[in-house]
Every structure is written in C-alpha cells, then in structure tokens.
C-alpha cells in the first residue's frame, strides 16, 4: 500500500506542478509551437474528456467532483486489497490523475489542459498530465487482465 500512496502523491505533484507552470507562463489563445505536431496551449475545460458536459455550470462541476471522488474511493479500496505491484501502480496512476483534476475543479472550477497534438490543422482535444496518468493506468490494468486471461488458457 505504501508504494501506491507514494505513486499517488508523486503523480498528483507532477500534475499540479505542470499546471502551475502552464498557468503562470502561458496565455490563453497564444499557443507555443514545440514541433510540427505538438503545441503547448492554455485551455480551461469545465467538462470532462473532450469537453463533454462543458455547459452545466456549478451543478456539473459539483457532480463531476463527487463522481471522481467516488471512483477514487472505489479504486483506493481495490488498491488496498491488491497484491500485484503493477496493478497497484496502475491504480495509483488513475487515482493520482483523478485527484489532480479534482483539485483543479475545486480550486478553479475547471481543469487546465495544455498538451495539444495535431496533424496540420486537425487537433486532438487538449489534455494534461493527469489525463495521461489516468490513461496509462487504465491501459496497464487492461493489459494485465488480458495477459492474465491468455496465460490461463495455455
């Protein structure tokens, strides 16, 4: 469990530090081109992934915070009983990322996104480190489940 808690704290700190730097150094609507396919941008997202549910105001913010905290509690309980360190790592990444976005919603009413990948004029929706940690953790858990099931049948 200690390993998971440390991972959660490091994930949360990395996310919040990156958002602090972006918030203090970048200006909205003034992207910084890093290379041909990647920009740093400053975008506030009041919704969830891909700006879904962006127009629900304080009710939406409150609902998203409550939902995220419920998921965090569920995942913490799972992590507490889990013995596989890779699964603990994946769960901790998801929890740390979710908490990073919850901190933003409580502090600013929205989540700060800043990673902008694109091909010419087609842009993937901007995201942040918390979103990346959540995706990496989820993919790790899925991978571990798929490989466990495949090995059961051999």
Enzyme catalytic residues: 113, 131
- The whole-angstrom separation of Cα 154 and Cα 136 is 27
In degrees rounded to 5, what are phi and psi of residue 68?
A: -60, -40
Q: Between β-strands 111-119 and 32-35, what pairing exists: parallel, antiparallel or unpaired?
A: unpaired
In degrees rounded to 5, what are phi and psi of residue 39?
A: -125, 155
Neighbour order of strands in the sheet with 32-35: 32-35, 38-45, 111-119, 122-123
- The whole-angstrom separation of Cα 78 and Cα 91 is 8
């Amino acid at each position: 469990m200690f390993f998971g808690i440390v991972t959660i704290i490091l994930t949360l700190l990395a996310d919040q530090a990156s958002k602090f730097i972006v918030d203090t150094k970048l200006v909205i609507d003034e992207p910084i081109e890093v290379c041909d396919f990647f920009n740093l941008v400053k975008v506030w997202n009041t919704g969830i992934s891909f700006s879904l549910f962006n127009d629900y105001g304080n009710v939406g913010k409150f609902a998203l915070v409550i939902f995220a905290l419920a998921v965090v509690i569920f995942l913490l309980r799972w992590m507490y009983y889990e013995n596989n360190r890779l699964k603990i790592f994946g769960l901790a990444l998801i929890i740390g990322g979710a908490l990073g976005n919850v901190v933003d919603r409580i502090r600013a009413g929205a989540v700060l996104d800043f990673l902008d990948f694109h091909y010419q004029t087609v842009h993937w929706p901007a995201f942040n480190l918390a979103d990346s940690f959540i995706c990496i953790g989820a993919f790790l858990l899925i991978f571990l489940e798929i490989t466990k099931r495949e090995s059961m049948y051999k």
